[in-house]
Amino acid sequence: MQLRHPLVGLSSCLGGQKVRYDGTDKRDDGLLAELDLFADLVPLCPEVAIGLGVPRAPIQLNVLEDGRLRVRGVADPSLDVTEDLQAYAEACLPLFEQLDGYVFKARSPSCGPRGVLRVHGDGREDEQGRGYFAGFVRRHFPLMPLADEDALADPGRMAAFERYVKAYFDYHHAGEEMNDGASRGLRADRDWRRDPGR
């Protein structure tokens, strides 16, 4: 008998913690109610964890002329927290290995899993970035279900995310061999994973 629920990481501000740069939260009661039906949530705020206070100066993704990605202050580019975010993410690896999914805050330079503003060295801007912390999770756990609150506001996408988290949970806890049920579940959600809107 399955005694444990999937463990899903959550951007702390979505859970109601007042950790945003301006001292507010982004509590999403509908999201939390849906996630509570099938997962235990693990809130993390990487920006607070690396010692940035609340409130704090906002940061953004900068793409340097040589293509390197940095996370720097919007008003003061000498504030560069890239290495701190990298070190924190590396310290979280043992925790990430326990997670069966992650729900990130959309558009955050740390947490956003897609569509994050990037400012290039020549002044160009685009919204093709991925938050630095979210990008670390994706690189190290390419099969882990990741989503943001915007995607999960759609009931169909929430249902697909739940299926995929459960399949990943089965896979994750099935030992070395992926069991047939998990394999079927992962295949069933393959199209959802490929959808750039997730």
What DSSP element (H or E) covers 33? helix 29-36
Rounded Cα gap, residues 63 and 85, in angstroms: 16
Q: Are 182 and 171 in contact (CB under 8 A)?
A: yes
Q: Does 111 bind ligand SF4 (CB under 6 A)?
A: yes
Give the number of other Cβ atoms within 10 Å of residue 117's Cβ.
16
Q: Give whichever of 45 and 151 is closer to ligand SF4, judged by the CB atom.
A: 45
Q: Does 130 bind ligand SF4 (CB under 6 A)?
A: no
Give the number of other Cβ atoms within 10 Å of residue 198's Cβ.
20
Q: Which of 34, 81, 102, 110 binds ligand SF4 (CB under 6 A)?
A: 110
Q: Does 8 bind ligand SF4 (CB under 6 A)?
A: no
Q: Give whichever of 14 and 186 is closer to ligand SF4, judged by the CB atom.
A: 14
Burial of 25 (0-12, 13-18, 19+ CB in 10 A): middle
Q: Does 12 bind ligand SF4 (CB under 6 A)?
A: yes
CB of 117 to ligand SF4, least distance (A): 13
Find the part of the chain contacting ligand SF4 (CB under 6 A) among 39-47, 89-97, 158-166, 174-182. 39-47
Quick note: the x/- pattern for ligand SF4 over 40-79, rule CB under 6 A, is: -----xxx--------------------------------
Sign of the dihedral through C-alpha 92, 128, 188, 184: negative
Tell me whether strands 40-44 and 101-104 are parallel, antiparallel or unpaired: unpaired
Give the number of other Cβ atoms within 10 Å of residue 56's Cβ.
17
Find the part of the chain contacting ligand SF4 (CB under 6 A) among 61-69, 90-98, 104-112, 188-196. 104-112
Q: Which of 8, 9, 20, 170 binds ligand SF4 (CB under 6 A)?
A: 20
Residues that bind ligand SF4 (CB under 6 A): 11-13, 19-20, 45-47, 105, 108, 110-111
